[in-house]
């Protein structure tokens, strides 16, 4: 089993849980994190373990440590540019709480509830230049309790995340890291014909720039 040098870009509770997971894996060496300096989750834990911190907003190919094997995004709002992705020896993975390619975008859980999907799930995928469009590594599913359809969608999404999808993400990330350390690299291209992309429900403006990332407007190179 190969020792993996891992870099984590993230924040909030899920970012902390991913960092905590990596500290428990004996085949993982955490070489740094990117997080807001005032984050009370990732940044606080990184200081406890004396892990170098790159301030959020300043992560790029020049600031990323050398010889990183795998980068992980966990509630990260830093864009991982092409030079930063390629600097990692193996690549970057992220977790998206939907069954990609369905429900791409930031409000994926809420849209699964709004559309009354019977089943949803989570996906660990390889980052590329598009939004949630990279090759799929691992997926798992869960049923949506029909009772959630009767409450406010944002509250329902929060419950589904806390009770199902958050823990699922940690399991899938651990599976991915374990397999990668053994030389097992899984990359399954997403099927465009099944893709959906819904806008961020936090954006109130009529113009939603994230809609520009819809498949029909996307550059083939991404």
The string of pLDDT tens digits covering residues 27-62 is 999 999 999 999 999 999 999 999 999 999 999 999
Condensed to tens digits (0 to 9), the pLDDT of residues 140-178 reads 999 999 999 999 999 999 999 999 999 999 999 999 999
Residue 96 CB coordination number (10 Å)? 26
**Does 211 have pLDDT greater than 60?**
no
**Where does the pLDDT of residue 212 fall: very low under 50, low under 70, confident under 90, or very high at 90 and above?**
very low
**Does 206 have pLDDT greater than 60?**
no
Q: What is the pLDDT of residue 124?
A: 98
**What percent of the chain shows pLDDT beyond 90?**
87
The token duo for 133 is 């469009």
Question: 53 — phi, psi (to 5°)?
Answer: -120, 130
**In three state form, how does the secondary structure of the chain look?**
CCCEEEEEEECHHHHHHHHHHHHHCCCEEEEEEEECCCCCCHHHHHHHCCCCEEECCCCCCCCCCCCCCEEEEECCCCCCCHHHHHHCCCEEEEEECCCCCCCECCCHHHHHHHCCCCEEEEEEEECCCCCCCCCEEEEEEEECCHHHHHCCHHHHHHHHHHHHHHHHHHHHHHHHHHHHHCCCCCCECCCHHHCCECCCCCCCCCCCHHHHHCHHHCCCCC
Q: What is the pLDDT of residue 77?
A: 82
Q: What is the mean pLDDT of residues 116-132?
A: 96
**Where does the pLDDT of residue 207 fall: very low under 50, low under 70, confident under 90, or very high at 90 and above?**
very low
Mean pLDDT of the chain: 92
**Does 216 have pLDDT greater than 70?**
no
The residue that leads in pLDDT, 197 or 217, is 197
Judge whether 185 and 90 are in contact, CB under 8 Å: yes
Q: What is the pLDDT of residue 221?
A: 40
């Amino acid at each position: 089993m190969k020792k993996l040098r891992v870099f984590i870009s993230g924040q909030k509770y899920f970012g902390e849980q991913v960092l905590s997971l990596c500290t428990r894996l004996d085949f993982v060496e955490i070489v740094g994190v990117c997080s807001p300096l005032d984050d009370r989750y990732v940044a606080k834990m990184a200081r406890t373990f004396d892990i170098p911190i790159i301030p959020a907003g300043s992560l790029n190919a020049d600031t990323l440590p050398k010889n990183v094997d795998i980068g992980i995004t966990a509630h990260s709002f830093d864009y991982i540019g092409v030079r930063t992705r390629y600097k990692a020896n193996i690549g970057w993975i992220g977790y998206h709480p939907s069954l990609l390619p369905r429900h791409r975008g930031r409000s994926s859980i809420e849209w699964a509830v709004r559309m009354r999907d019977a089943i949803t799930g989570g996906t660990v995928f390889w980052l590329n230049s598009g939004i949630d469009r990279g090759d799929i590594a691992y997926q798992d599913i869960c049923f949506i309790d029909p009772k959630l359809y009767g409450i406010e969608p944002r509250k329902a999404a929060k419950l589904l995340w806390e009770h199902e999808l958050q823990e699922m993400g940690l399991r899938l990330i651990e599976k991915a890291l374990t397999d990668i350390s053994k030389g097992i690299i899984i990359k399954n291209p997403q099927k465009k014909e099944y893709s959906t992309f819904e806008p961020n429900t936090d954006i109130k403006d009529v113009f939603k720039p994230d809609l520009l990332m819809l498949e029909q407007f996307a550059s083939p190179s991404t």
